[in-house]
Amino acid sequence: MIKVALAGQPNCGKSTIFNLVSGIHQHVANYPGVTVDKKVGRFDYKNEKVEMVDLPGTYSFSSYSLEERVSKDFLYDESPDIIVNIVDASNIKRHLYLTFQLLEIGIPVVIVLNMMDVASRRGIDIDVPKMQEMLGVPVVCASGAKGEGAEAIMEAIVLAYQQKEQYQNFKINYEELEAFIQEIEAEIAEVNVPLNRRWLAIKILEEDRALVEKLGSHFTHLQEKAKACEERFHATYDKDISAFLASIRYDSADVVFHKCVKVTKLHEETLTDKVDKIVLNRWLAFPILLLVMFLVYELSIVYGYKLTDYTWPLLAMFKNFVIDILPEPDLIRVPMMTDLSIWMINSAIALINYIPIFFILFALIAIMEDVGYMPRLAFILDKVFKKFGLHGQSTLPLVLGGAMVGGCAVPGVMSTKGIADERARMATILAVPYMNCLAKVPFYTLLLGAFFKEEMGLMMFYISTVTLFIALIVSKLLTSTVLKNRETAPFVMELPPYHLPTFKGVIIRSAQRVWVYINKVVTIVLAVAIVLFAMLQFPGLSEDAQQKYDEKIAQALSTFDTKVKKSSYYERVDTKEEVSALINYYDNYKAKRMVSSGAEGAKSVDESFLKKDEKLFIFVKPENDKDAKMINSALRQISNVRKDVLRQIKNEKIENSFLGMVGHSMEPVTQFAGFDWKINVAFLSSFAARESAVATLGSLYENNKADSKRAEEAMYENSGYTPLHAVAIIIFMILTPPCIATMIVVKMQSNSYRWMFFAIFFPITLGVIISSFLFSFGSVAGWSGVEAMSYFYVAVVFLALFLGLMPNRQNSWLGGFRNQTL
């Protein structure tokens, strides 16, 4: 198999060429030990099997960013047979710097001049044969956006592989430095290394410490030799070696450009220039950015969520299908297998239901990347965000995480991959979970409906905006402390020309990213869900408690029997087993009807259940049959009693479960925030998915009557809480990590369990401290709930502004540097 590495600078259309050549035969993984995507594609051509790896875009091999190190390490460690270098044909001179570095490695190179259509429109005429002669490697023309050039690229790869024995190493004359290069080469010759000695000597003179460390102890002494060469070179020529090497490469690029490229059109204002006058305008840039972010948010989160109206019934149908084949429960005893299966299904579909949101979101990100707006977005906001240790590219993750009420931290954290600055990337990863999670909104709604009916608008404004200020504060604190020693990269900003995205490229990248979510997130969440299930189920009810509930259901059965004895259908329901089967049949029917849509859907459910058991169906829909109506009335009553008993059993099992014990054990700490064990359990049990917090609280605070009131009314009347309690709970929920899925993605992006646990326990600790202080102090001061929330909001905004105005003394106490260029 021919192993090919696809290399090129960012925004050269590399991914488009990769998709063009490999088609759908590709998969995404991670490079070992890092979080950068490794895209691998395969294709057959002229009886040769080819594996192509799409390396991250990199401007050079200077090891500033994670992507540059990954690309360099792959070429060092994997030793591909061929390097395919993608070059932007409309901007050849700048791209040749990386081309020279690739040529010097000694691996056969195929150069692909992409975007030939753009070059042609700009009047750029390229002498391809002359370029092949000067560089000594095949040069192929392509236009990835138009789907042109795939055949020529595959032909060049196979031919270069078959003729690689004839490959002549490319050599740039480094003039005064040549003698020093030869000195290092002589030292390298004494050690058997499967790498090009000249290239290795140049990299050592460039002080590529990562390479020297990778090569091992045999080369450690060469650092001293290189240092001595650098001192002699500087003393003799008064020049820095790295700067001199770069200067020679740029001069060589200039020579190749002038001999191979002719510009037949005078420079005229391009469409990109015209658009940038508006998009990057001093006064219009920020409003346009807000509009773009709003559209991304609206299309992905709002309209994507509306698509779940169509996916949820399908998932509910699947759930009901699985339930149908599971062992049916007795009147009040549910088989463990059934309970666990339903728990697992609920956990899975809660995550899978968000796939439409993620697919639209990833498609929009791919479109913005291809169009060229992502670098401009970073440029516009970098000056603001860098005051908090973030990056301009942190904008999209924070917006997706929930800059307004209703984001999702999972895609927010996943979209941090493109941030080159390691410190800013980690700060963004750890800040996104503080944004407003869509799954938390029902919880806020429950508390606001119960305690702040008159001030709901003001309170929702506080909740929806305070999280951004909290995220900025946390970012500033983290980058000034635990992240201060993280590497920073020079902020080199390229504004590529605008391009139309390809439909195929957008769909493939969106599907790949969604698959990563399904494959890595859902599987791990299900494993954790099993642990939570066990903690909620065991040790279970005591014998006395079980007997108490058995007596309640026995009394309900007796009442049911008395009411239906006179019915002509009595013989069908005269045993406990028959009544149990009827109740299960009735409840399943109601569940199916709830997820059916329209008259046709209802009719289909009726036909299905009629076919399933005609004898029982008459009791579900008795029509004008008086005896059947008699049983239907008694059936509805015993079904409600059974549900009530099952709720009581569930609540008692939760309170006595291992998780309930943890909730009780937390009360000595959480009491200062006004939390009882029920609130503690709601937070703990909802960690798999925050949507379940409302269900847990609704169950725990229900008054256990058939005519029970709405959840917010029941909580207001039965909890004994005040609005100040509610504010403390809301603040804790704001600061609490969204869910397990988010934490798994934090692990994926940081490649560290340590940071995952930090992302869990730091905000929880912060939440307990702040909510406890606010509740305790507010209780003494006699604050109302709105007053407490207002004081908290003002304090957070003031602190964020104060920290933002503080200068970043990066050279002294942050130990990094930042440089912004266009």
Domain C-terminal end among 131, 166, 201: 166
The rounded Cα 22 to chain-centroid distance in angstroms is 25
Strand partners, 26: 41
* pLDDT score at 158: 92
What are the structure tokens assigned to 672, written together? 């200062």
> Does any domain span residue 116?
yes
Please enumerate in sequence order all residues whose Cβ is within 8 A of that of 92, keeping only pairs 6 or more positions apart, or say none: 113, 126, 256, 257, 260, 261
Q: Supply the pLDDT for residue 794.
A: 94
Is 111 within the bounds of a domain? yes
Instruction: Answer whether residue 416 is part of any domain.
Output: no
**Higher local confidence (pLDDT), 185 or 222:** 185
- Let me know if residue 626 belongs to a domain: yes
- Tell me what pLDDT residue 35 has: 42
> Which one has a higher pLDDT value, 809 or 815?
809
Contact 784, 723 (CB under 8 A): yes
How much is the pLDDT for 438? Answer: 67
* The pLDDT value given to residue 256: 93
Number of domains in the chain: 3
Q: How far apart are CA 396 and CA 520, in angstroms?
A: 22
pLDDT at residue 297 tops 70: no
The mean pLDDT of 277-293, rounded to a whole number, is: 85
Higher pLDDT, 415 or 101: 101
Do 154 and 170 contact (CB within 8 A), yes or no?
A: no
Binding-site members for GTP are: 8-15, 33-37, 54-57, 114-117, 143-145
Same domain, 56 and 142: yes
Does any domain span residue 97? yes
Q: Which residues pair with 109 in a beta bridge?
A: 83
DSSP secondary structure letter of residue 515: H
How far apart CA 451 and CA 449 sit, in angstroms, is 6
Question: Are 120 and 28 found together in one domain?
Answer: yes
Q: How confident is the model over 578-590, as a mean pLDDT?
A: 84
β pairing state of 26-30 and 261-263: unpaired
48-54 and 2-8 as β-strands: parallel, antiparallel, unpaired?
Answer: parallel
Question: What tens digit of pLDDT does each residue of 431-464 get?
Answer: 998 888 767 766 777 787 778 878 877 887 788 7
**Which parts are annotated binding residues?**
8-15, 19, 22-23, 33-37, 54-57, 114-117, 143-145
Q: Which residues are annotated as a binding site for Mg(2+)?
A: 19, 22-23
| CA 243, chain centre distance (Å) | 39
Residues 557 and 576 in one domain: yes
| Residue 521 placed within a domain | no
User: What was the pLDDT predicted at 320?
Assistant: 75
DSSP state of 329: P
Q: pLDDT tens digits for 773-806?
A: 999 999 999 898 899 999 999 999 999 999 988 7
Residues in the chain: 822
DSSP per-residue letters across 170-223: P----GGGHHHHHHHHHHHHTS--SS-HHHHHHHHHTT-HHHHHHH-GGGHHHH
Question: For the domain that residue 181 is a member of, what is the CATH number?
Answer: 1.10.287
| pLDDT number for residue 698 | 56
Do 18 and 157 belong to one domain?
Answer: yes
Examine the domain organization and report whether 46 and 191 are in the same domain.
Answer: no
Domain shared by 643 and 551, yes or no? yes
- Residue 557 belongs to what domain range? 543-652
- Statement to judge: residues 131 and 217 lie in one domain: no
Q: What is the pLDDT of residues 227-256, one digit of tens each?
A: 888 888 888 888 888 888 888 999 999 999
- Please say whether the dihedral angle defined by the alpha carbons of residues 663, 664, 670 and 674, taken in this order, is positive or negative: positive
- 37 and 162 housed in the same domain: yes
What CATH number did the domain enclosing 154 receive?
3.40.50.300
Q: Do 19 and 138 belong to one domain?
A: yes
Q: End of a domain among 634, 652, 670?
A: 652
- Contact indicator for 389, 427 with CB cutoff of 8 Å: yes
Whole-prediction pTM = 0.61
Regarding whether 153 and 183 lie in a shared domain, the answer is: no
Q: What is the pLDDT of residues 211-227, one digit of tens each?
A: 766 666 656 677 777 78
Last residue of some domain: 227, 243, 263?
Answer: 263
For the chain, counts of helices (H) and of strands (E):
37, 9
The chain-wide mean pLDDT, for the chain, equals 80
Q: The dihedral of CA 585, 591, 595, 596: what is its sign? A: positive
Q: Is the model's pLDDT at 735 over the cut of 80? A: yes
Regarding whether 30 and 162 lie in a shared domain, the answer is: yes
Query: Quick check: is 558 in a domain?
Result: yes
The answer to whether residue 586 is domain-embedded is: yes
pLDDT value, residue 84: 94
Looking at residue 154, what is its pLDDT?
A: 93
- Model confidence over 671-713: pLDDT tens digits? 898 888 878 887 887 776 676 666 566 555 554 443 444 545 5
Co-location of 232 and 98 in the same domain: no
Give me the helix-helix angle, 711-718 and 692-700, nearest 10°.
50
Mean predicted confidence (pLDDT) in 292-306? 74
DSSP string for 115-134? -HHHHHHTTEEE-HHHHHHH
| Pair 188, 90: CB distance under 8 Å | no
